[in-house]
Amino acid sequence: MSPNLDSKVINARNTAIGLDLGWINHLKVNRNAADRRAASLANRRTVKKDYQAAWLVKAIQCIDLTTLSGDDTPGRVERLCMKAMRPLRTDLMQALGLDSLQTGAVCVYHEMIAPAVQVLQGRMPIAAVSTAFPAGLSSMETKLREIELSVAAGATEIDIVITRQHVLTGNWQALYNEMLAYRQACGEAHVKAILATGDLVTLENVAKASWVCMMAGADFIKTSTGKEGVNATIPVSLVMVRAIREYYEQTGFKVGYKPAGGVSTAKSALQYLTVMKEELGNEWLEPHLFRIGASSLLTDIERQLEHHVTGFYSAAHRHAQP
C-alpha cells in the first residue's frame, strides 16, 4: 500500500481497502520498547488545576456511557440517557463556565435501544453491542441479523465482537471476511470492532487484528468487551493507536479508538487522553475519533471536578449511577 492523502479521502469514512497479507504477516511488535513507552506515559506527572479540569471535561465528552448488565431495565436505561445528556450538576456547570455538555454516546444491549431512542430523540449517538456480545460465538447468520435489527431499532453505532479464534489461529482472511460482512450489515451506522485484547495473548496479535479490522472498514477499533479477565491497558492501547497512525499515513483514512473495561477513575482517563494526544494529536481527542467505554468513570470525574470547584470531595453515593 502507498500513501494516498487526497483531501477527499482524508475526510471520508473508512472503507474496505482489501486484505494485504504480506503487510499483516510482516507486522512485528517490540514488547520491551512498547512497555517502556507505556510506562513513561502512565507514570508522567499529570496536569493540574484548571488544566486538569479542562481535560476531565474533554474526557466526559468522549465517554460512551454504558450499561451492559443482565438486570438492565428500561428505567435504568432512561436514567442513563438523562445522565448522558446532563452529566454534571448545574452548579458545577456554572462554576466551570459551561453552557452545555454531554457524553459521546450511550451504549446498551439491543433490547434497551427502544427506551434510549425514546429519551434521546436523536440528541446523541446510541451504540448497541452486537454479534453475540461478549463471546461472539453464534452463527454468522444470527450475528448479521442482530446488527440489522439494532440498526433498524435506532442504533447509530454498532460495537461488534470479532471471533477470537481467527486471530489465535492466524486465519486473517476469515477475520477480514467477517469484519467486512459486519461493516456492510451496519450500513450508515458506524461500527466499532472489539478485539477482546485480553484473549489475544500477544501484542503482535493485537497489532495484526487491528490492521485487519481497519482494512475491512472498521470505523473504530476497541480494546475489550469489559467481560474479559484483562481489559484495556496502556501497552495494548499504544499498539492499537500506533496501528491507527500508520494506517492513516498509508491510506489517508482516520480510524477511531475506544479503550473499554476497567477505565473507572479520572486518573486513568487522563492517561488515555495523554496517549491519544502524544501518539495521534489533538484531532483524535474529539468524540468522532475517541471514546472511552465506561460505566462508573463519570462518577469519579464528577467528584474530581467538584473538588476543583469547592475544595472538597463529596461522597461517592451523592453521584449514584443510574
∠ CA 106-125-316 to the nearest 5 degrees? 25
Q: Taking the mean position of all CA atoms in its chain, how far away is CA 11?
A: 20
Grid cell in block for residue 96: 466551570
**What burial class does residue 70 get, using C-beta atoms within 10 Å of its C-beta: 0-12 exposed, 13-18 middle, 19+ buried?**
exposed
Question: 154 burial class (0-12, 13-18, 19+ CB within 10 angstroms)?
Answer: middle
Q: Residue count of the chain, please give it.
A: 322
Marked catalytic residue, from 58, 192, 208, 258: 258
> Which member of 58, 222, 254, 300 is catalytic?
222
Q: What is the dihedral of CA 238, 182, 115, 13, to 10 degrees?
A: 60
Catalytic member of 159, 199, 219, 300 = 159
Told to judge if 222 belongs to the known catalytic residues of this protein, a careful annotator would answer: yes
159 a catalytic residue: yes
Q: Which three cell numbers stand for residue 169?
A: 489461529
Cell of 120: 434521546
Is the distance from CB of 206 to CB of 236 less than 8 angstroms? Answer: yes
Residues belonging to the active site: 159, 222, 258
